[in-house]
């Protein structure tokens, strides 16, 4: 009789532990299917013991499910994907939020009330820290979770942060990295000294950021630190492999210069492979209308360098590219899109796009543009 009761209790313990392991401790936002412990099982627990609480900290194996449910908020897609890669199979046991998830552009995003609540209560918040993230500081000042870990990518990169360059039609010194374009009279023109916030567009930077993310996850959930380390190592291996493919394909490319009839968020990427460029606007300038002199300058560069490709970013309407091409000698250049991952779509996410898959596609575009 005692034996039988003990085995019932053991089964009950395992059942409750499993339920605990799978069910979120916080009110779920997207899972409504966690079964409630059945009433008659509950009644088998001896009076006085309080249900599942006693089993919560039980050391019985939970089948690999994380016992800590982390709430992680990311601003842009690369961060969100990197967290996924480092959490690996355990990602489903945590709550991951991507704030800019439906074609919301980094440069026009403002947090909703709902977003602010999510950030202020999360365990790990990751943001870029550039000119587009001016709203972050206020939100963090009002955060409720004093144990929150915050990762600012530009902080992590430190001295590796580059300045935006003035690269436009009127400036013949375009593409000279050491050239700081200052108007003689206007020393207060701070746009010339803007830090380039598109730090994720370098595979080498990605390795640095992923290491910082793995460290943060390990300190939030020490029990899984070994797994995070091994996921990090294998992901860095994949990043290095792709970086080697970039070098193999681009180091001896016959053309060394790219022409963007658009904004230019790719400085980190091009610098990694020693490529030059001309662009209609520096960084992600708010300008959207290219001046006549810029169009003429870019069209002249297409002629001079015999370029067969004009590039744009994923959010461009291509009208500047059409105008540039219309002003060239040949008027037959192709327009290709290089993806800066600044405005990811929900269908991209559903189709399983990853940082690596997009950087692989970008390599194909570069190979074609530089052949
Ligand atoms: Zn941008």
CB distance 153 to 129 below 8 Å: yes
Q: How far is the CA of 106 from the centre of ligand 1 (A)?
A: 6
E-strand stretches of the chain: 71-74, 95-98, 124-127, 149-152, 257-260, 276-279, 309-313, 334-338
For 106-126, give one letter per residue: b (16+ CB within 10 A) or e: bbebebeeebeebbbebbbbb
Rounded average pLDDT over 34-39: 38
pLDDT one-digit tens code per residue, 207-233:
999 999 999 999 999 999 999 999 999
Lowest mean pLDDT among 23-32, 157-166, 267-276: 23-32
pLDDT one-digit tens code per residue, 73-86:
999 999 999 999 99
Ion ligand 1 — residues with CB under 5 Å? 265, 284, 342
Rounded average pLDDT over 327-354: 94
What is d(CA 191, CA 189) in angstroms, rounded to the nearest whole number? 6
pLDDT at res. 254: 93
Domains and CATH numbers, the chain: 2-56 (no CATH), 71-161+197-240 (3.40.50.1980), 253-340 (3.40.50.1980)
pLDDT at res. 65: 55
What is d(CA 318, CA 365) in angstroms, rounded to the nearest whole number? 16
Q: How far is the CA of 300 from the centre of ligand 1 (A)?
A: 26
Q: How far is the CA of 198 from the centre of ligand 1 (A)?
A: 6
pLDDT one-digit tens code per residue, 269-299:
999 999 999 999 988 877 778 999 999 999 9
Name beta bridge partners: 264: 283
Q: Coil, strand or helix: which one is 35?
A: coil
Distance of CA 190 to the CA centre of its chain: 27
Quote the tokens at residue 2: 């005692």
pLDDT at res. 303: 98
Handedness of CA 135, 280, 264, 100 (dihedral sign): positive
């Amino acid at each position: 009789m005692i034996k039988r009761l003990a085995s019932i209790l053991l089964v009950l313990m395992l059942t409750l532990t499993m339920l605990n392991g799978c069910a979120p401790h916080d009110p779920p936002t997207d899972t409504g299917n966690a079964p409630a412990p059945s009433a008659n099982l509950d009644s088998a627990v001896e009076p006085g013991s309080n249900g599942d609480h006693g089993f919560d900290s039980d050391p019985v194996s939970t089948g690999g499910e994380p016992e800590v449910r982390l709430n992680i908020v990311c601003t842009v897609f690369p961060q969100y994907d990197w967290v996924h890669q480092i959490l690996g199979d355990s990602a489903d046991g945590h709550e991951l939020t991507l704030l800019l998830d439906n074609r919301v552009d980094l440069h026009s995003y403002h947090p909703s009330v709902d977003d602010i609540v999510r950030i202020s209560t999360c365990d790990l918040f990751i943001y870029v820290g550039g000119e587009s993230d001016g709203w972050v500081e206020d939100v963090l000042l009002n955060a409720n979770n004093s144990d929150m870990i915050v990762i600012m990518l530009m902080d992590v990169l430190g001295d590796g942060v580059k300045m935006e360059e003035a690269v436009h039609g009127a400036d013949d010194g375009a593409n000279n990295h050491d050239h700081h374009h200052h108007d003689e009279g206007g020393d207060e023109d701070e746009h010339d000294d803007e830090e380039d916030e598109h730090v994720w567009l370098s595979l080498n930077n990605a390795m640095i950021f992923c290491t910082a993310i793995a460290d943060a996850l390990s300190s939030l959930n020490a029990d899984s630190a070994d797994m995070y380390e091994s996921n990090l190592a294998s992901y860095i291996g994949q990043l290095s492999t792709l970086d080697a493919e970039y070098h193999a394909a681009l180091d001896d490319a016959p053309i060394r210069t790219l022409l963007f009839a658009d904004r230019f968020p790719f400085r980190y990427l091009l610098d990694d492979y020693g490529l030059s460029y001309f662009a209609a606007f520096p960084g992600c300038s708010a300008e959207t209308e290219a001046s006549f002199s810029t169009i003429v300058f870019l069209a002249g560069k297409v002629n001079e360098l015999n370029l067969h490709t004009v590039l744009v970013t994923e959010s461009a309407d291509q009208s500047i590219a059409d105008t540039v091409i219309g002003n060239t000698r040949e008027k037959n250049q192709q327009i290709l899109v290089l993806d800066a991952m600044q405005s990811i779509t929900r269908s991209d996410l559903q189709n399983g796009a990853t940082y690596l898959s997009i950087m692989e596609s970008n390599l194909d575009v570069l190979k074609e543009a530089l052949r």
